[in-house]
Amino acid sequence: MKGNVIVGQSGGPTAAINSSLAGVFRTAIDRGAPKVYGMRHGIEGLLNEDYVDLSDYIRTELDVELLKRTPAAYLGSCRFKLPEIHEDIACYEKIFSILDKLDIECFIYIGGNDSMDTIKKLSDYAILNGHPCKFLGVPKTIDNDLALTDHTPGYGSAAKYIGTSVKEIIQDSKALIYKKGLVSIVEIMGRNAGWLTGAAALSKGEDCDGPDLIYLPELPFDIDDFIARVKKILSKKPYAVVAVSEGIRLDDGRYVCELTDGIDFVDAFGHKQLTGTANYLARRLAQEIGCKTRTIELSSLQRAASHMASRVDILEAAQVGGAAVKAADEGDTGEMVIITRVSDDPYGSTTELRNVHKVSNVEKVVPREWINKDGTYVTDEFVAYVKPLIQGDVSPIMVDGIPRYLLHNPKKKK
Ligand code: F6P
């Protein structure tokens, strides 16, 4: 590579996104890029000329290894929606003047479907204006809702954490017996897709029955039916464990969490903050059954749990980062790297490219046939799809008994 590379991270963080950053960095250096810049807080930071020379911060092989094991977004992330090109040409001129100033040949953005919208707009602008810079997307999201790719880096590690945590919660629920029963409700991220919530079924095995009910956002949620089912479970055993997606909705389209007293935060892409589903349901159960309830909102823990990262996930995350740099170096632009599953057992995958227009702003949800008839569990096919993605471990580098990370948010050197 003759020109420089710039890379940014965008959207919700994951345990694997920094491994993709490591893959971009290492491949760019190996292919001869004179400099690899990192945008601080994605495109929003770049618009303020906030970037760093990554070589100032990732100096040794140990730094690369630490980066791969560091959760969240090393460079800082953003949820920033670029205007349409015709709405604000000045914004695009500004971005491209910064790219020219830095002699950028390759612009890599690591993110989910909203972030691919940024790659789409920038690559469209470059093509329209005959600008030589190449724009490539690297998939990332714990939600696993990106179209065309078999799965997204970040998902496998979050799924592993969820399967493990639900198993631990089930163990804990068995310990104490309450007169009217105990219901533990685990609220899981994933927005409008149930890939993460379905991963609760991974807890099921020889030594664990798995959760009693799993509710995905793909199907309407009926509160009365839910309460009746819990009652029935408690008539047979003293506890119930339920996994619910943060994004479950009523038949009329309202999110269950909207029935709680109002957090009405909406981000730049119009996404409502989804929180409070488990609390609402627990309150309803306590009122109607009088049982003891416990709510566990896995929240940030499920996307930051690098101590529970999947080896497959961390390796693939680095691989897609490297593949994006290679593609740009070979002249591709306006594409996102996808992961294609080659085989399940032994698991194998490869990377390919897909036009980013086909990916941005599209949500891939769990197919109906991977959810049981009642809409209260996932099928064996679902579990068989996820299982290979959670295999293997990546040991944290422990210092004084706690995982060591590469220091986040490097500042621009004067
Ligand atoms: O998109 C990833 C995700 O983790 C979703 O599952 C969740 O709804 C959302 O991000 C939360 O975003 P934020 O951290 O901005 O509240």
pLDDT in tens, 161-208: 999 999 999 999 999 999 999 999 999 999 999 999 999 999 999 999
| 385 pLDDT higher than 70 | yes
CB 42 within 8 A of CB 114: no
pLDDT, residue 168, reads 98
Dihedral Cα 227, 232, 236, 241, nearest 10 deg = -30
pLDDT computed for residue 413 by the predictor: 64
Give the pLDDT of residue 265. 76
CA separation for the pair 382, 226 (Å, rounded): 22
pLDDT, position 314: 98
Q: Which of 43-57, 197-211, 234-248, 262-276 has the lowest mean pLDDT?
A: 262-276
Q: Tell me the best of 141, 162, 191 to mutate to test the pocket of ligand 1, counting ligand atoms within 8 Å of each CB and taking the most.
A: 191
User: Rounded to the nearest 5°, which phi and psi values hold at 168?
Assistant: -65, -40
Rounded to the nearest angstrom, the distance between the alpha carbon of 12 and the centre of ligand 1 is 5
pLDDT at 353 over 70: yes
Residue 388 has a pLDDT of 98
**274 within ligand 1 shell (Cβ under 6 A):** yes
Terminal Cα-to-Cα distance of the chain (whole angstroms): 26
Residue 269 has pLDDT above 80, yes or no: no
The verdict on whether omega for the bond into residue 388 sits within 30 degrees of 0, i.e. cis, is no
Neighbours of 87 (CB within 10 A): 9
Percentage of residues in the chain with pLDDT exceeding 90? 93
Closest CA to 114 of 92, 157, 143: 143
Q: How far is the CA of 273 from the centre of ligand 1 (A)?
A: 8
* Ligand 1 proximity of 273 Cβ (cutoff 6 Å): yes
Asked if domains 4-141+306-361+393-403 and 155-303 share a fold, the reply is yes
Q: Catalytic residue at 264?
A: no
Q: Tell me the average pLDDT across 88-99.
A: 97
With respect to CATH, is domain 155-303 assigned 1.10.357.10? Answer: no
Ligand 1, atom 9, lies closest to the CA of 12
Alpha-carbon distance values, 86 to 16, 117, 127 (Å): 35, 15, 15
Give the type of residue at 301. L
Ligand 1 pocket residue status of 15, Cβ below 6 Å: no
Question: Which residue of 189, 244, 361, 363 sits with most ligand 1 atoms within 8 Å of its CB, as the best mutation to test the pocket?
Answer: 189
Answer yes or no: is pLDDT of 3 > 90: yes
pTM: 0.96
Active-site residue (options: 114, 117, 143, 212): 143
Q: Please determine, for residue 250, whether its predicted confidence score (pLDDT) is greater than 70.
A: yes
Buried b (16+ CB within 10 A) or exposed e, 328-346: bbeebbbbbbbbeeeeeee
CA of 166 to the centre of ligand 1 (A): 20
Nearest CA to ligand 1 atom 5: 190
> What's the pLDDT at 271?
79
Q: Domain-by-domain residue ranges, the chain? A: 4-141+306-361+393-403, 155-303
The pLDDT tens digits of the residues spanning 213-227 come to 999 999 999 999 999
* C-alpha to C-alpha distance for 396 and 89, rounded to whole angstroms: 45
Question: Looking at this protein, which amino acid is placed at residue 201?
Answer: A
Joined tokens for residue 126? 């470059």
What's the angle, vertex CA 185, arms to CA 206 and CA 256, rounded to 5?
Answer: 135
- Indicate which residue's Cα is closest to atom 3 of ligand 1: 12
Ligand 1 pocket check: which of 246, 255, 273, 302 to mutate, most ligand atoms within 8 Å of Cβ? 273
pLDDT at 389 over 90: yes
pLDDT of residue 263 exceeding 90, the answer is: no
Could you tell me which residue, 96 or 273, shows the higher pLDDT?
96
Ligand 1 lined by 143 (C-beta under 6 Å): yes
**Which amino acid residue places its CA nearest to atom 14 of ligand 1?**
12
CB 67 within 8 A of CB 19: yes
Cα of 189 vs centre of ligand 1, distance in Å, is 7
- Nearest ligand 1 atom to the CA of 246 is 8
Q: What is the dihedral of CA 30, 16, 43, 79, to 10 degrees?
A: 170
Find out whether 156 and 339 touch, Cβ atoms under 8 Å.
no
Q: Closest ligand 1 atom, CA of 273?
A: 16
Per-residue pLDDT at 181: 96
Residue 275 has pLDDT above 90, yes or no: no
Nearest CA to ligand 1 atom 15: 12
Mean pLDDT across the stretch 127-154?
Answer: 97
Say which range, 40-44, 234-238, 407-411, has the weakest mean pLDDT: 407-411
Select from 3.40.50.2000, 3.40.50.450, 3.40.50.720, 3.40.50.2300 the CATH code of 4-141+306-361+393-403.
3.40.50.450
Which protein residue's CA is at the shortest distance from atom 11 of ligand 1? 12
Q: What SS3 state is found at 335?
A: strand
Q: What letter would DSSP give residue 15?
A: S
